Structure 1
Amino acid sequence: MRMVRAAATAVVLTGALWAAPSEAARTPLRDGTAVPVEVLTSDTALVADAITALGGHVTGSVEGEVVQAMVPAGQVRALAATPGAEAVQSPHNVSQLANPYTRIDAAIGTGTPGNEVALTNADAWHTANYTGQTIKVGIVDYFDLSLWNTAEHGPTPTAGNSFCLDTAGFGLCSGASTFAPNSNGQHGVAVAEIVKDMAPGAQLYLATASTVSDLRAAIDWFAANGVTILTRSLGAAYDGPGDGTGPLDAVVDYAVEKGITWFNSGGNGGVDNYVRRTVPTNLATGGYVDFDPGAGVDTWLRLDGANVALDGVRWANDWYLPAAQKSDYSVEFWVPTVDPTTQSNPEHWDPTGNASRITVVDAHQTAGANPLEAADMQFTPTNSYGSYGGITYLRIKLNPGSSVGATPDAMEIELASGLTELGYSQASGSSARPVVDSRSIGLIAVGAVDPAAGSVIAPYSSQGPTTDGRIKPDLSAPSGLTSTIYTGASGFQGTSAAAPTAAGAAAILQGAHLANPLTTSALLRSFATEYGDLGAPGADNVFGAGKLVLPDPPAAPALGYSARSKYVPLGAPTRVLDTRPAPDHVGPAVLTGPYPTQTVFEFHVLGTGGVPTTGVSAVAINLTSVGSLSAGYVQAYPSLRATTGATSTLNISSIGGPRPNFAVVPVGEGGNISVFLPVGGEAVIDVMGYFADNQTTSSDGRFVPIPTPERWMDTRGLGGAPLPLSFGGRPRLAAPGEVIDVPVLRTTAVPATGVSALVVTLTAADASANGFLRVMPKGMVNPQHSNLNCTPESAVANVAIVPLGANGQLSVGTQRSVNIILDVVGYITSGTTAAGTTGLFMPITPGRAADTRLAPPSPLIGGSIRRFQITALTAVGAPVVPGSAIGISGNLTVTQPQASGWLKVFPGFEPPTSNLNYGMSQTVAAGALLKLDGSGGVNARMSKTGHVIIDVNGYFLP
């Protein structure tokens, strides 16, 4: 058997121990010969300095993972002994194509050219003029541009659209932007065809990169050219434990940090490529791993193929253990001395006594090597036995002196080329491979549904979970489509065809301003679950979230609300959705949590809880996060009418607890609102009222902001604010279970008549324990809602629109002992006022009007006042508010405050009131209805230094 590696020369070192997995490695090297190497290290700067000191030069790196270099051959051993060098290896080619061997005889690949466009509903988006226009899509692959057809693939790539880097000398490039002739060059052109079928308006950027460091450089090139979507239908050898860490996963993280959504083929390891076996703790030292899937014993794993390539042999459960605790295995390669196919039981013939051992690979785990052997190894057997051009046997030996340890080892073998022994492979776990296993929110691993129009996963499509138990693939897409490049009966198969299908769909969504690079994955997965869920309900390790299908497109590119709207309060806040399981659950059964992080779901709000089925432009809600899994934010927004992740509705600083916030949410396509849960957990929606559209003029339902917000009650007795009459003039904490009537401020600007409801900010401070407050019309019987959740750690505020009760008053009830502050910012007119347009509401596409974190960061200094312009903004993503607006509906957020304090936002003179309260380093949001000054802006003041964000979802007419 002749053994070769991808590189022309190969040296593998771990510490000072040699391992020689290739013929080239066994060849003596002269000191003057420079060889390419990769050094695995967590200290790239230290190793780079060592390389220079040894007379070499660095050719690339991935921060904290690997340094690639050319070094004198005589210095390789010294480099391996350098502090910080964990291992030295020949550079791995990270651009593997699909395994060319298969036993699959099923009728797959029965699609038609461009069929993925109809199957994903992309054709409906094209008809509505959403084609991915303005979006730049990068493709990492091999390319033969002589096959480029401008009618199918778009304009012929120029030097400005092409990148090629091959620092290891694999022969892939003829220059910085010139692809060398390559027998695999048709693959990338076929990928490009699918992207252009799906997103004909997108612009393509092509790259070939041989090593992980070259790929890192390609990411810089993509980012510099404004690429926001990358698709890569390639594999790579094992370089980590399968849990989303390792050099290639670090490159994914880097790309996402650069604003790129990465689509990757999920892998074709579902059949005859991947074997995983549990090694029992009682395996004797010097014993061999048993591959038999049943009760028998078989320590010889047959590999078929004239050219066999391994992704590696890995037992990831030992990855993070100290060297002394790792199981130490070696991998042996044998060739049969007689033809197994002529023996009895040929597929599972025992070659003992009839095979010759060719080589042993042993990286010595007890000396510090990772529990990984034979990664990126290729070899060619010296026989042509069998139906696939050769037969080899692989054995895995527990080295003398080593033991399995207290827990069994999960032994994995994956091939990049060749076939594992018939009946021995499995699909489960085959997705635990570099890039595919990434934890990043910007990485989408794509499985294949083949035949394309079917509802079954392709037999070859790799399946999860990852070694740390996460679901993979992330979603699936049609594959097996005839193309102008692959013209055979089976067409363009594999997850290689599925990934660009999903990438093209992403370009459509980004071009329609419905997703950004960090939220594209969440939105696509939500569509796959809602419109293409296959297999077990919800996400699973076969289909991921489901088969990708886009919903029907929005009716117009802009939000398009032209009807003026008036506010209609409900008789009482009504719970319309609670995703917690029974007995708490309210709403459709399909919307039952808990939800994982990065989840998007749609809720049909029209016709629920007293909201009409038609004629509604927006709803006023209290949105509550419960049981969050991480810190972050939650967004409620009009479905298919706003960018997922562009604004926020509430923020979570304390994981797990309830956190509510008031919001006015425009109603989106189909009468739906969407909820984006980057923090995961549960969501609760209480509706307070709605905005009825088509109001030319109206007497009732108009918002009138008072000139200066007023403090109507403060149980602390501070600043001259009124105390409740029941307090007898003495400040005190409200008692648990107490209901307090809010006194009417004698000097209020709120008129005595013509008022149906007040717009208030309710604040809880000094709470004795976690609990809730509710504000309600005076005299309300048996209230069931809450407006905010209080906590002893810091004051908490929230906004509410509250109908007036008996004697035109409000009441506040509390569950805990707490101080209560109530501020009034405006009112809603009643039917007794004269009809007019002033204060009617116009919902808009939610947008961010101000964010002091943006470069250059400019935090609001504690005690200072800064003005923020709200109207007539022209920046991309900014809300469109005309200069005539008198007020806005939106959300205020404070983040990174240096100490506990408050924020107040006001149009003119500074009021005694506040809009929200925050603790040190917390991120806190509060809904707001704000009056604008005469020039369309607001003033903001923080008591302590921090950053301020202002989001806007609508405005009020003059």
Structure 2
Amino acid sequence: MSHKLRPIMTEPMHAGRRRAPSALRVLTAVAILASILTLITPGADRLDASAATGGQASRYVAISPERVLDTRYPGFGVTRDGDGDTLSLDPLTPAVIAAAGVDPLAVKAVAINLTITEPIAPSWLKSFPFGLATSDDVSTSAVNNRIANETIANFSIVPVGTNGRISIQSLRSSHIVVDVQGVFEGSTSSRAGRFVPLDVPTRITDTRQTRVPVPANGQLVIDLSSVVDEGASAALINMVATETQGSGFLTVHPGGKVPNSSNLNYTGVAHTIAGSAIARLRPDGTTTISVSNNATHIVVDVIGWMTGEMTGDSETTSSSSGLYVPVSPERHYDSRPEEVPIGSSALAPRTSRSLQIAGKLSVPATGVLGVATNLTMTNTDGPGYLVMYPKEPMPDPYSSVNSMFANHSIANHAIARLHNGKLSVYSMGRSDFIVDVSGYFLDGTTTPPRTTKRQPTTPPTAPSTPTGVTQPPADNDYEYLLEATGSNAQYGAYQRNGRKYYGWTPC
């Protein structure tokens, strides 16, 4: 297929505001001042450290997306007048747990779509487990924007920390939107929720072939039955909105009512933007992409799928192959010469570089099928793209992340199969690139890391809580109320407007 059909440009986006989020009933947001770091933060000098099991094995449970945070609505999230803010939230809301049908104490990680919107300046977001790391310990970035008031999103798999919470840090004051796509439940052997990679990523849909874009408020049903097993629960896809006719966003869902969520946003006319998702599938192997208020062409590549309980009329074989082990995000490679490894260099046009991943940092030397990564291209010389792949020949047509202009910094989540513990990155134009790893998939040849449930813990004590006060302060110095829901309901000592809170955090 011609390279002309390959998406080669990306443009950041406006997050969709389809309706007020239902998740406001359960959210808690704690603001903590954190230090300001560089735009794409450098990795620690640990590339030759001995490998360790960074987490516990888990299986994936796909859900129809649930919005759990949108700080554009009053009373929730980071302030608009400060930099370096960090918030923590519980993504395992009652709606998420009900949809997944799992014990929240058995959840090891969450699959989220993370959007930065209305930033006051060039910025980035970090995502990491609450209580298990600080922002200074995390050398990776999940989302980057290049200018003020730019909106851009990225898929991310984040291990949950203390109380099942995750933390998100913004370099500059910005709004943040979080949509949960699924959860990883602890398991050492499972029939469903195991990753099966395709040998080569496969292009399943390209509406440019028909010259008919998906219209505003329209839907595109994607049939993946030709590339995934019967009974697959979800598919790992890379999608592109291209030749857009205005601003809008895409929502991936199993069909029916369109959920209040977005996976990919685009801004303006004739823009192209790529993003990843683990799309829940209907029993017939289809999923749906809904378009908001402006038409766009859509390209979909399939990387692999998640097994289901049944294949045809038979139960799927239980195995550890394809189970996921989340780790606290870590930087494995940065081509910029001043970063680790020192003295590296950008990729020249139409060249590739092989990277050793297995045996580095938290990724074991053996037993690894593939890795979940965040692939960033930066210091670009113009429009171009990167391709992450296991071995030659390079898949074509396919792209993992795309740039639109010179000096563009943009990232996309990429799940990649390893070959002999390595993966390769190809660049169409000159570009630096960064590989951050958030977990790995087992190949079934080694004993999975042991899985245990988290223990319930007492909610964190809010600082400076006045003695004997039965109502939270009403002034704006105490905006971050800690709502007593779920496992925290028993601690609801304070009430306001019919809701209970166990404390508040002064800002």
TM-score, structure 1 length as denominator?
A: 0.38
| Residues 606 and 614 in structure 1, CA contact (< 8 A), matched pair in contact too | no
Distance 2:231 2:424 in 1: 29
Q: Alignment partner for residue 631 of structure 1, among 118, 122, 126?
A: 122
Q: Distance in 2 between matches of 1:591 and 1:744?
A: 38
Specify whether residues 595 and 681 from structure 1 end up closer, same or farther in structure 2 by C-alpha distance, changes over 3 A only.
farther
The residue that corresponds to 1:827 in the other structure is: 305
Deviation at 1:599, TM superposition (A): 1.0
Match of 1:707 among 196, 199, 216: 199
Q: How does 1:179-198 map to 2 (within 5 A)?
A: none
1:866 aligns with 2:376: no
Could you tell me which residue of structure 1 aligns to residue 232 of structure 2?
755
Higher helix share: 1
The answer to whether the 8 Å contact 1:575/1:609 transfers is: no
Distance 1:754 1:861, change over 3 A: same
Residues 144-166 of structure 1: per-residue CA shift (max 9 Å, x gap): xxxxxxxxxxxxxxxxxxxxxxx
Larger CA deviation: 670-679 vs 891-900: 670-679
**Which of 328, 343, 354 does residue 856 from structure 1 map onto?**
343
In structure 2, the residue matched to 1:888 is 371
In the aligned structure 2, how far is the partner of 1:562 from the partner of 1:736?
43
Counterpart of 2:425?
A: 940
Residue pair 1:889, 1:930 contacting (<8 A) in 2 also: yes
SS in 2 for 1:742: strand
Residue equivalent to 2:480: none
Following the alignment from structure 1 to structure 2, what is the Cα–Cα distance between the partners of residues 638 and 782?
A: 29
What amino acid is aligned across from residue 684 of structure 1 in structure 2?
V
Answering whether residue 227 of structure 2 is matched by residue 742 of structure 1, we say: no
Q: Describe the shift of the 1:609–1:860 C-alpha distance in structure 2 as closer, same or farther (beyond 3 A).
A: farther
**Do the aligned residues in 2 keep the contact of 1:666 with 1:843 (CA within 8 Å)?**
yes
* 1:724-754 Cα distance to aligned partner (Å, 9 max, x none): xxxxxx32322222211224475x3x22x13
Alignment-mate amino acid for residue 301 of structure 2: D
Residue 801 of structure 1: how far off its partner (Å): 0.8
CA distance in 2, matches of 1:766, 1:893: 23
Distance change in 2, residues 1:900/1:780 (3 Å): same
Higher strand share: 2
Q: Within 5 Å, which residues of 2 pair with 1:48-67? A: none
Report Cα offsets for 1:233-283 as digits up to 9, x if no partner.
xxxxxxxxxxxxxxxxxxxxxxxxxxxxxxxxxxxxxxxxxxxxxxxxxxx
1:789 equivalent in structure 2: 265
Residue 632 to residue 615, structure 1, CA distance change in 2 (3 Å):
same
1:488-539 deviations in Å (ceiling 9; x for gaps): xxxxxxxxxxxxxxxxxxxxxxxxxxx99949xxxxxxxxxxxxxxxxxxxx
2:107 is the counterpart of 1:616:
yes
What's the secondary structure of 2:172's corresponding residue?
coil
Q: Shift in Å at residue 761 of structure 1?
A: 0.7
Deviation digits for residues 387-445 of structure 1 (CA, Å, limit 9, x no counterpart):
xxxxxxxxxxxxxxxxxxxxxxxxxxxxxxxxxxxxxxxxxxxxxxxxxxxxxxxxxxx
Residues 301-347 of structure 1, C-alpha deviations (whole Å, 9 max, x = no match): xxxxxxxxxxxxxxxxxxxxxxxxxxxxxxxxxxxxxxxxxxxxxxx
Report how many residues are paired.
379
CA distance in 2, matches of 1:797, 1:637: 23
String of CA shifts for 1:473-498, please: whole Å, max 9, x gaps: x99xxxxxxxxxxxxxxxxxxxxxxx
Aligned counterparts, 1:396-407, within 5 A = none
Aligned 8 A contact 1:607 1:613 in 2: no
Partner of 1:903: 386
In the TM superposition, residue 592 of structure 1 has moved relative to its aligned partner by 5.2
Distance 2:81 2:431 in 1: 31
Judged with a 3 Å threshold, the aligned counterparts in structure 2 of structure 1 residues 609 and 923 are, in CA distance, closer, same or farther, namely farther
Task: Determine if contact 1:516/1:643 at 8 Å carries over to the other structure.
Answer: no
Classify the secondary structure of the residue corresponding to 1:670.
Answer: helix
Corresponding letter in the other structure for 1:741:
V
Aligned residue number for residue 953 of structure 1: 438
C-alpha deviations, 1:159-208, integer Å up to 9, x for none?
Answer: xxxxxxxxxxxxxxxxxxxxxxxxxxxxxxxxxxxxxxxxxxxxxxxxxx
2:90 is the alignment partner of 1:604: yes
Is the contact between residue 559 and residue 844 of structure 1 (CA under 8 Å) also seen in structure 2?
no
Counterpart CA distance in 2 for 1:563 and 1:857 is: 33
Which deviations, in whole Å up to 9, do the C-alpha atoms of 1:436-475 show, x marking residues without a partner? xxxxxxxxxxxxxxxxxxxxxxxxxxxxxxxxxxxxxx99
Cα drift, residue 640 of structure 1:
3.1
Deviation at 1:631, TM superposition (A): 1.0
Alignment of 1:652-667 (within 5 A): 652-667=145-160
> Residue type matched to 1:871 in 2?
A
Q: How much identity, in percent, do the aligned residues show?
A: 32
1:879 is displaced (CA, Å) by 4.1
Aligned equivalent of 2:470: none
Q: In 2, are the aligned partners of 1:609 and 1:687 still within 8 Å (CA)?
A: no
Aligned equivalents of 1:886, 1:617: Cα separation in 2: 19
Structure 1 position 774, deviation (Å): 1.6
**Aligned equivalent of 2:504:** none
Cα gap change, 1:870/1:643 in structure 2, threshold over 3 Å: closer, same or farther? farther
- Residue type at the aligned position of 2:122: A
* Maintained 8 Å contact 2:78/2:87: no
What does 1:389-400 correspond to in 2, within 5 Å?
none
Matched with 2:321 is 838
Deviations 1:561-617 (A, max 9, x none): 6531101112x10011111234xxxxxx46354362211122123345323431111
Given that 2:59 and 2:194 are in contact with CA atoms closer than 8 Å, whether structure 1 keeps it comes out as yes
SS at match of 2:284: helix
Query: Which structure is richer in relative contact order (CA contacts within 8 A, separation 6 or more)?
Result: 2
Aligned to 1:808: 285
Post-superposition shift, 1:662?
0.4
What is the CA-CA distance between 1:773 and the residue it aligns to? 1.1
Unaligned runs of 5+ in 2: 1-31, 39-50, 98-102, 311-315, 444-507
Q: Distance in 2 between matches of 1:917 and 1:928?
A: 12
Structure 1 pair 821/516, CA: closer, same or farther in 2 (3 Å)? Answer: same
CA contact (8 A) 1:903 1:940 kept: yes
SS state at 1:661 partner: strand
Aligned with 1:889: secondary structure?
Answer: strand
Asked if 1:931 is matched to 2:417, the reply is yes
Partner of 2:67: 575
CA contact (8 A) 2:52 2:362 kept: no
- Conservation of the 8 A alpha-carbon contact between 1:632 and 1:652: yes
Partner amino acid, structure 1, of 2:123? G
Q: Distance in 1 between matches of 2:53 and 2:192?
A: 24
Contact 1:846 1:879 in 2 (8 A): no
Matched, 1:769 2:237: no
How much has 1:636 moved relative to structure 2?
0.6
